[in-house]
Every structure is written in structure tokens, then in C-alpha cells.
Amino acid sequence: MRAITQIIFTSVLSGLAFQANAAVELKGELVQGALVRAQVQPGTQVFLNDEPVKVNAQGDFVFGFAREAQLEQMLKLVYPGGLTQLKPLTLKKRAYKIQNITGISKKIMKPDPKAQARAAEDSKQVKVARAQFTASNAFNQDFIWPLTGRISGVYGSQRIYNGKPGTPHYGVDVAAKTGTVVVAPADGVISLSVPDMFYSGGTMIIDHGYGVNSSFLHLSKLYVKPGDIVKQGDKVAEVGSTGRSTGPHLDWRINWYQMRLDPTTVVPSMKSVLAREK
């Protein structure tokens, strides 16, 4: 009887020890628009709201929450050996900058069919670039700003024209002179490099692995081509005002596959970076 009790007690301790190790570490704020990096025990299967998430050999993975993501999310972790853990995630709701603009003529509001057709072709190229998967672990680096300066546009902001909501802004704009050098915020591979897209002008996408990619818009000059490998800090382009832009700036965007996220969730605040540069 004593031997049986000891075996049961040992099994309970082993189970508790396993559960203690069966944890997930999250790196990033749980908020709408955020990119979140995480780590689990190697060999663990991960699901976000029942959708599988790819995990590398070291147990690292990444996921994101859209601009208007539901505040209640669920991670499911299936550990080697079969233990399943459900981890509820509660996001913080964000308030976005909304601007109402009235009195715009119907002529301006009416879309140009030719422009729409060209923009649709551009969009197809962008979607293909963002859909690809590479096994690079660069997504897990500490990202840096591709350039520093005054932030002139923020993620999630939206204009409402004559009562009709426009497309939200999905990047962060950094004002800079035309020709200012833009660097890679993390290691990656160039998956798109086009000098003249209709809306975004000079456009570049860097694939950082596991669905994470950076997009740079309105560039005046592109230094690299698709397939080129870049390291964090490498010079890749120059700021411009190409495409539908009202002035020179860099529009930097972060995606997890097709999900549009806020780049400021993966870098230090611009204020802190500028303070260090002084």
C-alpha cells in the first residue's frame, strides 16, 4: 500500500512539475493592432482561436491582433505528451484618431475606374508577397526604427468624407526630406520592390519570417531587389513623396501575413529614441 501511495505521489509531483514548465511567455502588449512574439516548450502545438500558428524548433512563434480585433481571444497549447492548456487573452481596446471632412464635391468622391484597375493589380502583388512563409527567425529580433524623426501619421487613424468612412491608415508616417535613407528594421529578405505603384508609389516589402513583414511606401529610390538578403540597419531605400502622397515621408507598415498591425508595438517610442540621439 505504501509503495502504491508513493508512486501516486511521485506521479502527481511529476504532473505539477510538467505543468509548471508548460507555460507560454508573451513579449508585447495585449492590445488591438499589436504584434506579439511568444515562446513555449519546443514541440508544442499552438492555436489562436482554433487556427494553427507555426512554431519554430526553439518554441518561438508570433501572432497579431487586427485594428478592430475582438477583445477576448484564446490561445490553445498542446504540449508534447498530449497535455492541452487553454490560455484566455484579454486585449485592451484602442481609441483611434477619427477626422470628419464634409463639403467634398461628388466629382472628387467618384472613383476613377482606370485608377481602381491599376490599384487592384498593385494590391495583388502586395498580397502575394505578404502571403508567403519563410522559416527565418528574424521576426524575433528587437526591431529598430527604419528612420527617426517627427511622426506625422499614426496607425488606425481614419477620415470620414461626407459621412462615408475612408480606409483607415494602417502605418506610421515619419516625416523626412526626400532622399533621407531608410534602413531595414530587422533582418529579412526582399519580397517586393516596385518603384511606381499607383497609391503607394515606390514600394518595398521585407519578409522577416513566420508571416511577419515590413512595408515601406512612397519611396523615391529603392536600393535592393526581390530575393536580396538584408541585415538589420542595412540601407534599403530613400524617403520620397511618390504615389498619392501630400509630402515627403516614410509610411512604414507591419503585417502578420495579411493582418495589418501597428509598427509602434515592436519598437521603442520615437521620443525615447530621439532623446538618445541628442
Beta bridge partners of 78: 45, 84
Q: Give the highest mean pLDDT range of 4-13, 17-26, 74-83, 156-165.
A: 74-83
Q: What is the pLDDT of residues 137-188, one digit of tens each?
A: 999 999 999 999 999 999 999 988 888 888 999 999 999 999 999 999 999 9
Q: What is the pLDDT of residues 194-205, one digit of tens each?
A: 999 999 999 999
With CA atoms as reference, report the closest residue to 32 among 64, 77, 79, 80. Answer: 64
For the cut 50, the answer to whether the pLDDT of residue 19 exceeds it is no
pTM of the model: 0.89
How long, in residues, is the chain?
278
Measured distance CA(174)–CA(71) in Å, rounded: 29
Beta bridge partners of 251: 173, 217
Question: Looking at residue 2, what is its pLDDT?
Answer: 40
| CATH 2.70.70.10 matches 98-277 | yes
For the cut 70, the answer to whether the pLDDT of residue 4 exceeds it is no
For the cut 90, the answer to whether the pLDDT of residue 115 exceeds it is no
Boundaries of CATH 2.70.70.10 in the chain?
98-277
The domain 2-90 is placed in CATH, from the list 3.30.457, 1.10.101, 2.60.40, 3.40.50, at 2.60.40
Q: How much is the mean pLDDT over the chain?
A: 90
Boundaries of CATH 2.60.40 in the chain?
2-90
Please report which confidence band the pLDDT of residue 110 belongs to, taking 50, 70 and 90 as the band edges.
low
Measured distance CA(87)–CA(40) in Å, rounded: 12
Is the distance from CB of 94 to CB of 33 less than 8 angstroms?
yes
